[in-house]
């Protein structure tokens, strides 16, 4: 279990792509693309991978850049 900022990602070896959130688990890259909606309602749960962005709040119009998190899953 890794906790980076407010994004929680459980370890596993799958890729989840839901348009605004791309998660590659392993040498983990969490790519939050340009968000034009409230991501507080997005919750993804696929097998062993749980991407919970319910605590992420994006002020639309202020955040218009890619957010990258890089960390090693223990």
Beta strands in the chain (DSSP E): 2-4, 7-9, 15-17, 21-24, 27-32, 43-46, 49-52, 67-72
Whether the predicted model's global pTM rises above the 0.95 cut: no
Share above pLDDT 70 across residues of the chain, in percent, rounded to a whole number: 0
Q: Are the C-beta atoms of residues 58 and 39 closer than 8 Å to each other?
A: yes
Tokens describing residue 70:
């890089």
Q: What are phi and psi of 9, to 5 degrees?
A: -130, 120
d(CA 2, CA 29) in angstroms, rounded, equals 12
Dump pLDDT digits (tens) for 31-62.
Answer: 655 444 444 444 555 455 555 555 555 444 44
- How many domains in the chain? 1
Q: Residue 25 belongs to what domain range?
A: 2-72
């Amino acid at each position: 279990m890794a906790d980076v900022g407010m994004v929680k990602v459980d370890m596993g070896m799958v890729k989840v792509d839901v348009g605004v959130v791309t998660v590659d688990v392993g040498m983990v890259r969490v790519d939050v693309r340009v968000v034009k909606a409230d991501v507080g309602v997005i919750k993804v749960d696929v097998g062993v991978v749980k991407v919970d962005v319910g605590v992420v709040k994006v002020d639309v119009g202020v955040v218009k850049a890619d957010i990258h998190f890089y960390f090693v899953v223990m």
